[in-house]
């Protein structure tokens, strides 16, 4: 690493106080300094100062990190850990330390599947067929472990109407309060089409005209987390064009219903300095936007006991904890029950769980214990990775708990029959 | 000098390979770390100066594993260093080169809670705040509350005799620990103290608490729990300068009241905290803020609150805020407890100093401390436990600048000499570690130091257990030792 680089400068913000240790899932699991935020930052600094080599050990520790950024939420010194991690992982790739089957496969899938809507659609359809033919057990044996895990994590593939593209324009219901653009999201579109539809329904019911701009791309979050910053930059560039340079008058907001996408778009200014600042400033999580602009349509009753679990990239990366809770509480009859460790990572962390299934399971177990103790009817969270992980966990334990995005409950409270999914 | 041994040489007779193979057998491969990255990461605690690399790190999960690892080190004559969360500020957990770090972070079970007798038995790796959280539903808490309590371990607290903002009323760790299980440097396991708090014979618990890991490794701690007070009031008194805040502290204490805590935060610290995630809305144009916490029976508290209020106005307080609820109280405390880390925003490194002076001398000493900082062109800030005269002058610096680093060390020494000359001591709660061992001569003469050495040598005869801590390696700095005046000065280092 270059000692004058941005990355190196960033590591100097850390004063080694250790106050972040207890919030780090990998430190808690292993008890190891090397697997703690402070340890990782120290490794980055050590490499930059030539005290240790940029070798496989550093690579392992930086990839054992979930990127949950819980450490950032508690750091008094203002260390921007997420940005450091992205830069450092890029350097690992540049240094040739991300070789081997796993990383190569990850890069391939991210670049040529996730970011290509048509291919992703075909791929998800293929999984649907495999499952329908009950070939998934066989597939589990034939596929590499990580892919088999991924397959097991996927929720039931929604029926095709839900996987169709979202309408490119939906008018506001009643008095028009503004015009927003929606980032469709790659995983959200294929697996959580109901959430996209619920998002549009709630926005329009509250006076917003919703545009789903053409030419928008995947947000690039997973690519950046994997150290593929150059690809993430190219995706961000496409989104800058789609959301800020076409479509006539500027949007009042660019709304996302996925915490991971929202965090990536808000921080895309770091990827494309100067270029992406406008997009970053416009980006809002759906709960944040509704909370900020206020509900004008009165939600109907939903007699439900509900838990809300914070997605890391909402609470830690975007600092949003109250907005989703306030929105849910605005639904008459809905009882929001707290559970321990709501802001702790669920162990999904994008593609991380696929490479670290055992630690992921232990982290998820703690989460499920807390959920079970609170015994809700619905468990809500606003990010596709979390929804998948939580659903898989709830199912594995045989709990009668529905897993949903908060916006789905709000849509239901408005009496909208969105074909449900667990 | 009788009884003074030369510092222990790092043993080289047996190979690392033999050591590591043995350690792996004891704790399992996964819990014995030897990659260069691990040796680097375990090179220091929260004091990053003078980092060293150990030969290996082990993370045992039971007393038996600790005892076996220690016995192996004793057999191979290897130094070993206990470590908790590594939040120590005096380099207590710094390894000597080639040492084995024995990390207790995986021994984090609360073994028993007896709510009626108000006792808990915990493993040493239990995090301080987790213990209080675990007993809260019994209406109890664990009183010592270092600002690092969300992270630091009970074992580390025992070793450092840690205190916290509430030490003023509740005392330090030693007042709350009644029994210990210790793996002695020979590998023998002993129990000291008793669960009743009374024990016949020598008070070995008292000896072990505060011994900074130089007498053995604590593997079980029996602590006393305290009832959560019926009522709490937390005030923020806002002043134009630090001396005025200190005068109010004096008034309150002289009145006979025993507040739970009296904490001063100066302007530079306020600015740093307000720029951090722990911002609590402290006024940034204030010269100092004094956090006053009163607790006890609800009926008594209002009267105390009124008296404090009256004193505050007499001392020229600029504003007085009372925490409206527990959430606001928590916010004030988070700001106070995040202060050290927040000061990290000012420069890459922070030197957290720790010294104690008689409380009545606070205003004049603080003024002189600021002078020292200015003279050395350093960014110095103060956040401290005013009620017990425990100062934390903090110096923000960049260790990559050798000239600045030299000035930091020089200023640190001058501050200590100033405090000692005023009748103070070297450390209030962060320990001597390797940071201050060569200043021990400022307060102790050869005979005193020799008595300490001989005590240590009884349990730690080979000096393998946490070497190079507490006791000066060179002869004490007699030049500045009033008791030793007239002898030839021996330079430090
Ligand atoms: C931001 C911040 C705020 C702080 N605030 C305070 C404060 O308010 N009050 C205060 O007193 N201190 C404070 N400290 C200092 C530090 O947190 C305490 O000294 C704490 O007790 C250290 O605990 P640890 O688990 O981190 O121990 P470590 O730093 O890992 O070790 C400290 C010492 O204890 C020894 N040790 C650790 N575990 C054992 C064991 N099981 N048996 C024997 N020896 C052992 C080590 O060898 C070392 O000498 C603060 C530190 C920071 C970074
Ligand atoms: S809390 Fe921040 S400053 Fe402290 S060790 Fe962690 S990253 Fe570094
Ligand atoms: S991002 Fe999460 S896993 Fe990574 S160091 Fe921070 S807290 Fe630990």
Residue A54 lies in domain = 3-94
Say if residue A248 is in the same domain as residue A181: yes
Q: What is the pLDDT of residue A99?
A: 74
Q: A189: CA distance to ligand 3 center in Å?
A: 28
pLDDT tens figures, B403-440: 999 999 999 999 999 999 999 999 999 999 999 999 99
How do beta strands B226-227 and B189-193 pair? unpaired
How close does chain B come to A315, measured CA to CA in Å? 13
Q: Could you tell me if residue B337 is inside a domain?
A: no
How far from B204 is each of A316, B113, B200, B401, CA to CA, in Å?
46, 23, 10, 44
Q: Is B282 strand, coil or helix?
A: coil
Q: Which of B27, B33, B39, B40 to mutate to test the interface with A (most CBs of A within 10 A)?
A: B40
Q: Could you tell me if residue A234 is inside a domain?
A: yes
Q: B43: CA distance to ligand 2 center in Å?
A: 16
Atom 2 of ligand 2: nearest residue by CA position: A75
Cβ within 8 Å, pair B339-A51:
no
Q: Could you tell me if residue B473 is inside a domain?
A: yes
Give the least confident one: A55-69, A157-171, A386-400, B111-125: A157-171
B484 has pLDDT over 80: no
Q: What is the pLDDT of residue A353?
A: 87
Say if residue A305 is in the same domain as residue A287: no
Tokens 């929604």 -> residue: A158
Q: Of the residues A292, A323, A342, which one is the last residue of a structural domain?
A: A292
Q: What is the pLDDT of residue A103?
A: 80
Which among B42, B47, B81, B88 is the best mutation to test ligand 1's pocket, defined by most ligand atoms within 8 Å of the CB?
B88
Contacts of A52 in chain B (CB under 8 A): 36-37, 40
Say if residue A324 is in the same domain as residue A204: no
Q: The domain spanning residue B209 has which CATH number?
A: 3.30.465.10
Contacts of A53 in chain B (CB under 8 A): 36
Q: The domain spanning residue B410 has which CATH number?
A: 3.30.70.2740
Atom 53 of ligand 1: nearest residue by CA position: A17
How close does chain A come to B388, measured CA to CA in Å? 24
Confirm whether pTM is higher than 0.90: yes
Q: What value does the mean pLDDT take over residues A122-130?
A: 81
Q: The domain spanning residue B297 has which CATH number?
A: 3.30.70.3450
Q: The domain spanning residue A25 has which CATH number?
A: 1.10.1060.10
Among chain B residues, the shortest Cα distance to A11 is held by B348
Say if residue A88 is in the same domain as residue A106: no
Q: The domain spanning residue A380 has which CATH number?
A: 3.40.50
Say if residue B304 is in the same domain as residue B402: no
Q: Could you tell me if residue A421 is inside a domain?
A: no
Say if residue A152 is in the same domain as residue A166: no
Say if residue B131 is in the same domain as residue B178: yes
Say if residue B127 is in the same domain as residue B220: yes
Say if residue B193 is in the same domain as residue B245: no
Say if residue B91 is in the same domain as residue B172: no
How close does chain B come to A79, measured CA to CA in Å? 9
Say if residue A180 is in the same domain as residue A284: yes
A75 pLDDT tier (thresholds 50, 70, 90): very high
Contacts of A51 in chain B (CB under 8 A): 40
Looking at all shown ligands, the one closest to residue A74's CA atom is 2
A4 has pLDDT over 70: no
B79 lines ligand 1 (CB under 6 A): no
Q: The domain spanning residue A249 has which CATH number?
A: 1.20.1050
Q: What value does the mean pLDDT take over residues A153-172?
A: 88
- Residue A363, C-beta contacts closer than 8 angstroms, at least 6 positions apart: A25, A29, A344, A345, A346, A347
Q: Of the residues A230, A265, A292, which one is the last residue of a structural domain?
A: A292
Q: Could you tell me if residue B1 is inside a domain?
A: no
Cβ within 8 Å, pair B341-A21:
no
B47 lines ligand 1 (CB under 6 A): no
Say if residue A8 is in the same domain as residue A48: yes
Say if residue B407 is in the same domain as residue B460: no
Cβ within 8 Å, pair A18-B151:
yes
Which of A326, A337, A294, A315 lies closest to A386, judged by CA? A315
Say if residue A198 is in the same domain as residue A276: yes
Give the least confident one: A124-133, A234-243, B203-212: A124-133
B188 has pLDDT over 90: yes
**Ligand 2 atom having least distance to the Cα of A16:** 5
Say if residue B294 is in the same domain as residue B358: no
Number of structural domains chain A divides into: 4
Q: Could you tell me if residue B427 is inside a domain?
A: no
Among chain A residues, the shortest Cα distance to B42 is held by A33
Atom 8 of ligand 3: nearest residue by CA position: A24
Looking at all shown ligands, the one closest to residue B87's CA atom is 1
To the nearest whole number, what is the mean pLDDT of chain A? 91
Q: What is the pLDDT of residue B10?
A: 45
Q: Of the residues B164, B198, B227, which one is the last residue of a structural domain?
A: B227
Q: Could you tell me if residue B384 is inside a domain?
A: yes
Q: What value does the mean pLDDT take over residues A181-206?
A: 93
Q: What is the pLDDT of residue B7?
A: 38
A11, A84 contact by CB (below 8 A): yes
Q: What is the pLDDT of residue A418?
A: 56
Q: What is the pLDDT of residue B477?
A: 41
Say if residue B205 is in the same domain as residue B140: yes
Say if residue B67 is in the same domain as residue B99: yes
Give the least confident one: B251-255, B320-324, B461-465, B485-489: B485-489
Q: Of the residues B227, B251, B274, which one is the last residue of a structural domain?
A: B227
Say if residue B415 is in the same domain as residue B453: no
Cβ within 8 Å, pair A15-B349:
yes
Say if residue A108 is in the same domain as residue A203: no
% of chain B exceeding 70 in pLDDT: 93
B492 has pLDDT over 60: no
Tokens 């505050």 -> residue: B312
Q: Which two tokens stand for residue B57?
A: 């790190």
Q: Could you tell me if residue B338 is inside a domain?
A: no
Q: What is the pLDDT of residue A142?
A: 66
Q: What value does the mean pLDDT take over residues B379-386?
A: 94
B372 has pLDDT over 80: yes
Say if residue A151 is in the same domain as residue A196: no
Say if residue B219 is in the same domain as residue B128: yes
Q: Could you tell me if residue A419 is inside a domain?
A: no
Residue B212 lies in domain = 110-227
How far from B216 is each of A370, B181, B199, B325, CA to CA, in Å?
38, 10, 20, 44
Q: Of the residues B86, B103, B120, which one is the last residue of a structural domain?
A: B103
Q: Which two tokens stand for residue B240?
A: 């134009």
Q: Which of B48, B151, B381 to mutate to test the interface with A (most CBs of A within 10 A)?
A: B151
Q: What is the pLDDT of residue B489?
A: 35
Q: Could you tell me if residue B126 is inside a domain?
A: yes
pLDDT tens figures, B30-81: 999 999 999 999 999 999 988 999 999 999 999 999 999 999 999 999 999 9
**Ligand 1 atom having least distance to the Cα of B158:** 21
Looking at all shown ligands, the one closest to residue B86's CA atom is 1
pLDDT tens figures, B271-289: 999 999 999 999 999 999 9
Q: Which two tokens stand for residue A89?
A: 């992982």
Q: Could you tell me if residue B156 is inside a domain?
A: yes
Q: A160: CA distance to ligand 3 center in Å?
A: 37
Q: Of the residues A274, A292, A310, which one is the last residue of a structural domain?
A: A292
Q: What is the pLDDT of residue B63?
A: 98
Number of structural domains chain B divides into: 5
Q: Which of A8, A14, A15, A321 to mutate to test the interface with B (most CBs of B within 10 A)?
A: A15
Q: What is the pLDDT of residue B268?
A: 94
A143 pLDDT tier (thresholds 50, 70, 90): low
Cα dihedral across residues B234, B237, B238, B244: positive or negative:
negative
């Amino acid at each position: 690493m270059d000692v004058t680089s941005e990355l190196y400068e960033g590591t100097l913000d850390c004063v080694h106080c250790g106050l972040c240790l207890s919030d780090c899932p990998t430190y808690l699991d292993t008890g190891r300094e090397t697997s703690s935020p402070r340890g990782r930052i120290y490794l980055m600094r050590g490499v930059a100062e030539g005290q240790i080599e940029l070798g496989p050990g550093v690579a392992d520790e930086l990839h054992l990190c979930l990127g949950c950024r819980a450490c950032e939420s508690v750091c008094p010194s203002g260390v921007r850990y997420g940005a450091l991690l992205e830069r450092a992982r890029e350097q690992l790739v540049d240094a040739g330390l991300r070789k081997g089957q796993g990383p190569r496969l990850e890069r391939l899938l991210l670049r040529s599947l996730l970011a290509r809507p048509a291919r992703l659609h075909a791929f998800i359809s293929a999984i649907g067929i495999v499952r329908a033919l009950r070939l998934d057990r066989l597939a589990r044996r034939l596929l590499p472990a990580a892919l088999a895990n991924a397959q097991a994590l996927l929720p039931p593939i929604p029926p095709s109407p839900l996987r169709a593209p979202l309408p490119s324009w939906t008018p506001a219901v009643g008095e028009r309060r503004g015009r927003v653009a929606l980032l469709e999201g790659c995983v959200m579109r294929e697996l959580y089409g109901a959430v996209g539809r619920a998002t549009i329904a709630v926005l329009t019911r509250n006076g917003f005209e919703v545009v789903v701009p053409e030419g928008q791309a995947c947000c690039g979050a997973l690519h950046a987390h994997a150290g593929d910053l150059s690809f993430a930059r190219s995706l961000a560039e496409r989104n800058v064009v789609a959301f800020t340079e076409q479509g006539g008058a500027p949007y009042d907001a660019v709304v996302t219903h996925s915490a991971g996408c929202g965090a990536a778009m808000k921080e895309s200014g770091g990827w494309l300095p100067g270029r992406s600042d406008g997009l970053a400033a416009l980006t809002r999580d759906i709960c944040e936007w509704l909370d900020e602009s206020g509900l004008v349509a009165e939600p109907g009753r939903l007699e439900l006991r509900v838990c809300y679990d914070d997605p890391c990239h909402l609470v830690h990366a975007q600092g949003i904890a109250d907005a989703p809770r306030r929105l849910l509480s605005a639904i008459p009859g809905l009882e929001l029950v707290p559970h321990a460790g709501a802001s702790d990572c669920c162990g999904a962390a994008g593609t991380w769980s696929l490479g670290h299934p055992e630690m992921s399971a232990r982290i998820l177990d703690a989460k499920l214990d807390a959920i079970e103790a609170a015994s809700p009817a619905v468990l809500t969270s606003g990010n596709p990775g979390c929804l998948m992980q939580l659903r898989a966990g709830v199912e594995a334990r045989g709990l009668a708990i529905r897993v949903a995005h908060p916006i789905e409950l709000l849509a239901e409270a408005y009496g909208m029959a969105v074909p449900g999914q667990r | 000098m009788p009884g003074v041994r030369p510092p222990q040489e790092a043993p080289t007779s047996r190979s690392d390979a033999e050591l590591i193979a043995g350690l792996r057998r004891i704790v399992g491969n996964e819990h014995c770390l030897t990659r260069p990255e691990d040796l680097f990461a375990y090179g220091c605690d929260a004091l990053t100066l003078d980092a060293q690399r150990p030969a290996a790190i082990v993370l045992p999960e039971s007393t038996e594993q600790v005892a076996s690892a220690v016995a192996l080190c004793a057999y191979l004559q290897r130094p070993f260093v206990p470590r908790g969360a590594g939040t120590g500020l005096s380099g207590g957990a710094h390894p000597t080169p080639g040492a084995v770090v024995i990390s207790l972070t995986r021994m984090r079970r609360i073994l028993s809670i007896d709510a009626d007798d108000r006792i808990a038995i915990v493993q040493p790796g239990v995090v301080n705040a987790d213990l209080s959280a675990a007993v809260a539903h019994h209406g109890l808490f664990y009183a010592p509350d270092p600002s690092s309590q969300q992270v630091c371990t009970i074992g580390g607290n025992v070793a450092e005799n840690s205190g916290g903002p509430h030490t003023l009323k509740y005392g330090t760790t030693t007042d709350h620990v009644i029994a210990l299980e210790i793996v002695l440097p020979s590998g023998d396991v002993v129990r000291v103290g008793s669960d009743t708090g009374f024990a016949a014979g020598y008070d070995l618990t008292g000896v072990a608490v505060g011994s900074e890991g130089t007498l053995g490794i604590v593997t079980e701690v029996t602590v006393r729990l305290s009832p959560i007070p019926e009522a709490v009031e937390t005030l923020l008194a806002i002043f134009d300068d630090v001396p005025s805040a200190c005068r109010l502290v004096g008034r309150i204490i002289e009145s006979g009241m025993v507040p739970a805590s009296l904490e001063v935060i100066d302007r530079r610290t306020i600015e740093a905290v307000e720029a951090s995630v722990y911002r609590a809305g402290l006024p940034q144009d204030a010269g100092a803020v004094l956090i006053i916490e009163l607790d006890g029976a609800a009926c008594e508290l209002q009267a105390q609150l009124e008296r404090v209020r009256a004193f505050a106005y007499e001392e020229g307080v600029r504003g007085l805020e009372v925490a409206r609820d527990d959430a606001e109280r928590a916010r004030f405390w988070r700001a106070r407890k995040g202060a050290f880390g927040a000061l990290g925003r000012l420069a890459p490194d922070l030197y957290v100093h720790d010294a104690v002076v008689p409380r009545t001398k606070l205003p004049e000493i603080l003024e002189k401390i600021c002078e020292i900082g200015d003279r050395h062109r350093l960014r110095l800030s103060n956040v401290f436990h005013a009620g017990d005269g425990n100062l934390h002058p903090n110096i923000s610096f960049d260790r990559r600048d050798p000239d600045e680093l030299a000035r930091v060390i020089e200023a640190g020494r001058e501050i200590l000499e100033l405090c000692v000359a005023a009748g103070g001591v070297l450390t209030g709660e962060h320990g001597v570690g390797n940071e201050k061992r060569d200043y021990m001569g400022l307060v102790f003469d050869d005979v005193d130091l020799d008595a300490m050495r001989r005590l240590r040598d009884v349990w730690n005869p080979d000096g393998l257990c946490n070497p190079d801590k507490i006791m000066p390696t060179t002869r004490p700095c007699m030049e500045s030792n009033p008791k030793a005046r007239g002898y030839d000065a021996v330079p430090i280092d």
